[in-house]
Chain A
Amino acid sequence: MKIKNKKDALVIGGLLAGTVTVLGGIINCLHSYDFKHCSLIWVGLLILGSALYAMRRPETEVLPDERVTRINEKAGYVAFWLVSILITLLFWSDRTWSIGIELVDMYYAAMSVGIISWSVLRWYYNKKGALSDEIQKR
């Protein structure tokens, strides 16, 4: 497969990254009996799946453009505030009621909320289409 345009570079990069991650996951999994260390395989398969999905779509449906950039920025901004509010609430409730939340739990909660909310918000803004509501309402 020759790299003719940005889409090809994106697909080849995804296939390479996916393969390396899967192989890394297999090696990691063979050296450790902990199931958690095998999660890299799933991440790699996800990257491979995304690259194969991108391969099937036309170039103009894959490449990031200004609308996608704006969507990512807005979703990132909202997700950042959600994570900030969550961390504040967790700290506050731990101090008030002495729940005994570990820093690691807080990290996992923040990461999960951040990634999930960013993905959901990206999907929502992509479906919605418009980003400047105030201009639409005029």
Chain B
Amino acid sequence: MNTRIKELRARYNLTQEELAKKVGVRRETIVFLEKGKYNPSLKLAHDVAKVLETTIEELFIFDDD
């Protein structure tokens, strides 16, 4: 699983800390999300997408292979 969180976060000049605060999670969770090492709940995925003004489909990229 790949994500575009880092890219979009940079576009909005948000730090990991700020994004974590906005969606109500720990900073480490954002770190793991960016690395694609954590599968978030639908609610968290929705919250992150909302903050970054995008859709879940655009934020999380799954390899079909």
Which B residue sits closest to A67, measured CB to CB? B29
B: contact size bracket: 20 to 34
A66-B27 Cα distance, complex, nearest whole Å: 12
Size band of the interface chain A makes with B:
10 to 19
B24, B25, B37, B44: which contacts A130 (Cβ < 8 A)? Answer: B37
Q: Tell me the bound Cα distance from A131 to B26 in angstroms.
A: 16
Q: Which of A68, A130, A132, A136 contacts B26 (CB 8 A)?
A: A68
A61–B1 contact, CB under 8 A? Answer: no
Cα-based distance from A75 to B5 in the complex (angstroms): 28
B-chain residues with CB within 8 Å of residue A61 when the two chains form the complex:
26-28
A-B contact pairs, 7 of them (CB 8 A): A60-B26, A66-B43, A131-B39, A132-B39, A135-B1, A135-B39, A136-B1
